[in-house]
Structure 1
């Protein structure tokens, strides 16, 4: 039986990543695929250790498949390799000093590895991405309107969208229904068209490194669509084993005709 481990937001926290890898090895069902949905790095020198660990999985570990996150995008922008020319968002969020901090944190030889990462990953009917199909910084949450969620799914014709930008664990279900749309131009208005919407889901996979001592990630079976959100304690307060799995009820959002 195939099982996936999906995580995001290591943010240079190697101890958190190691704790999650250890928890993955403890699963009764073997984990065959490991997906890291961006923000493996942050503006700290320890990010280099995380990159090295990701690139050197041990023989008993799945080979990570990694896509770009917000921090990776900001790093590429600083090196003139991003989709925009200026680190405007980085400066607005953290101040001008963060530009040099991020530049110094990641050596040039590792920038090429970051550049090689995909924007997102598509497996079976699942889109795995840091933000959404629109932008790496697009933050989907349980409060995102259903029509916006549907738009992000339909852009890539995905039935399941796994994302990590918000850092939250959530299961957001779009139930079956229909959407009526029309296009208005200066010359005319097209006849409204109804599009049948089949059930789809958006899954927030959690965050590994942001909260010291606590890492959250997601287990998924693509054939049964079974989802588990895992919370792992590590460090001085870890106790003897991970926190018990917590299953969050899905958020149902019906699209009306």
Structure 2
């Protein structure tokens, strides 16, 4: 039976990534695919080692499917290869010093590899992406409005959207219902239109490298639609467990939303 491992946010933390790979080997059910939803790099010199590790999986390891994240996009913007001409978003959030650190962390020889990464993946009825179908900067969380969540799903007609931008592990379910919309033009008001909404969900896959000593990621079975959040503790407090028993400490949340009629 097939199983996917979906991770995001290695953020230059090679030790955390190795801990996740070790945990995948311990799973009772074989992991067939490995998806990395962006932010493999960060403003840290170890990011170069992460890139080399991703480019050269060891014998017997899965070849990861990798898409661009927020840090990858900011790096490309710095090299005049991004969607905007100036790194204003990076500077506004982290300042000039961090911007220079990111520039220095990744050698120019690796820029083409970063540029070659996909924007996202559409597999079966699942969209796997760093932010959303809008942009890598789009941060979906358990507090995002149902209408916004539904918009991100319907843009690509996905039943499940896996994302990593927020760094949180959560499952957000939109139950079956009906959404009514209307359009008001200058000359007349168009009749309201009702759209039937089938059950869909958004899954935040967690973050591997941001918190030292703790990595979170997601396992998904595409045939049963079962989602399982995993937490890996490494270093002095190392260990392997599911997040289900650690809801308060991990920030994992489950939310069901029923659209308004």
Band the TM-score falls in, shorter-chain normalisation: over 0.9
Residue of 225, 234, 257 corresponding to 1:253: 257
Shift of 1:245: 4.3
**3-state SS in 2 of match to 1:60:** coil
Q: Equivalent residues in 2 for 1:1-257 (5 A)?
A: 1-238=1-238, 241-246=239-244, 250-257=254-261
**3-state SS in 1 of match to 2:203:** strand
Using the alignment, how far apart are the partners of 2:71 and 2:191 within structure 1? 44
Distance 1:141-1:245 versus aligned 2 partners, 3 A rule: closer
How many pairs are equivalent?
255
Using the alignment, how far apart are the partners of 2:58 and 2:223 within structure 1? 27
Higher mean Cα deviation, 139-148 or 187-196?
A: 187-196
Using the alignment, how far apart are the partners of 2:184 and 2:61 within structure 1? 53
- Please give the TM-score of this superposition, normalised by the length of structure 2: 0.95
Contact persistence 1:231–1:246 (CA under 8 A): no
Using the alignment, how far apart are the partners of 2:18 and 2:185 within structure 1? 55
Using the alignment, how far apart are the partners of 1:83 and 1:249 within structure 2? 33
**3-state SS in 2 of match to 1:246:** helix
Using the alignment, how far apart are the partners of 1:82 and 1:205 within structure 2? 25
Shift of 1:61: 1.4
Using the alignment, how far apart are the partners of 2:253 and 2:236 within structure 1? 31
Gaps of 5+ in 1: none
Using the alignment, how far apart are the partners of 1:249 and 1:171 within structure 2? 6
Gaps of 5+ in 2: 246-251
User: What's the C-alpha RMSD, in Å, of the aligned pairs?
Assistant: 1.1
